[in-house]
Amino acid sequence: MKKLRLITGVLVLGLSAAACGGGAKVEDDSAAAPSASAAGSAAASSGGTVKMAINGWVGYEASAAVVDYLLEHELGYKVEKVTLNEEPSWQGMESGDVDVIIENWGHDDLKKKYIDEKKVAVAAGENGNKGVIGWYVPEWMVQKYPDITDYKNLNKYASLFKTSESGGKGQLLDGDPSYVTNDEALVKNLKLDYKVVYAGSEAALIKAAKQATAQQKPLLMYFYEPQWLFSQLKLVKINLPPYTAGCDADPKKIACDYPPYALDKIVSKKFADTGGKAYDLVKNFTWTNDDQNKVADDITNNGMSAEDAAKKWVEANPTVWQAWMPK
């Protein structure tokens, strides 16, 4: 559904994986045996293996960690975490390298290709998270320049955002080039005197937001919710032309805001057909932005591994996750 730059995915399976958003590491603990009773350990030998894609932001990692923990500790499955960008994760369902994408942001084009046409993937329902993508500035900028939240006024303030990388224009800081983004088209079609500069990761965006807030440095950035950072500092969303159905149909002509996203889960057709209780758990999994932010915050800021953060949440919320368990 969005203009998406494809970065060729490199499959990483092992104990050392690429850094995820927010400075957190994506730990592959797929080789770890469930810390369960003898009966649970016996189940592990027959539970099978689930290959779960890990995309590059810590909110995704938080959702994956909780599902991973329950698959291993409650159902006796082994989980292999596969670190990939978004589109290669879909390709992995065709090649057999991926069973589950636990947090999908729209991608109607990929749904058409892999679900409708190739029939190698299946939608497995919403995961409960409500996604927002947009442009943000630190709150102090809105207090100093109250009209800056209207995109029509951004050119008036372009000089504030100039950097060594923006070529004399204002800088719009984006994250990883593989993220869902329309920003280059928006800058062009809204006739804004800005240049999109890619920070390279969620961690870099978060660092920039913290510096801009602490040092009162001007910053215009692409960002999104759910995100634990909003519990630590205040960012204000820029009002772009309102989204209407179909306004983003042609990626080159987009001149409207991002749509609201009801994030969902995608699984391989093979996993849907043969995944048994593991598929049932994935299909039943649904939680809130607040749930995700708590786990992501523990991973990023409280020194916890993904597994420990998941365990903490699972122990604190039994009535929530027990409703996901296969009957």
Q: Are 223 and 243 in contact (CB under 8 A)?
A: no
**Rama region for 24: left / alpha / beta (φ>0; ψ in -120 to 50; rest):** beta
Helix (H) or strand (E) holding 80: strand 78-83
CATH code: domain of residue 141: 3.40.190.100
- Higher pLDDT pick, 15 / 170: 170
Residue 144 shares a structural domain with residue 115: no
CA distance 60 to 54: 7
Domain final residue pick, 207, 230, 253: 253
> Which tens digit of pLDDT belongs to each residue from 247-269?
999 999 999 999 999 999 999 99
How does the average pLDDT of the chain come out, rounded? 87
Domain final residue pick, 226, 253, 280: 253
Residue 170 shares a structural domain with residue 136: yes
For 266, phi then psi, to 5°, come to: -125, 135
> What's the pTM?
0.75
- Higher pLDDT pick, 28 / 89: 89
Domain final residue pick, 228, 253, 278: 253
Residue 126 shares a structural domain with residue 143: no
In a domain, 294, yes or no: yes
Instruction: Report helix, strand or coil for 325.
Output: coil
pLDDT at 273: 97
- Which residues constitute the domain of residue 270? 21-130+263-322
Residue 213 shares a structural domain with residue 245: yes
CATH code: domain of residue 48: 3.40.190.10
User: Between the CA atoms of 67, 69, 71 and 72, what dihedral angle is there, to the nearest 10 degrees?
Assistant: 160
Instruction: Report helix, strand or coil for 168.
Output: coil
> Which tens digit of pLDDT belongs to each residue from 175-210?
999 888 999 999 999 999 999 999 999 999 999 999
> Which tens digit of pLDDT belongs to each residue from 32-73?
323 332 233 333 334 799 999 999 899 999 999 999 999 999
Q: Are 84 and 100 in contact (CB under 8 A)?
A: no
In a domain, 12, yes or no: no
Residue 35 shares a structural domain with residue 117: yes
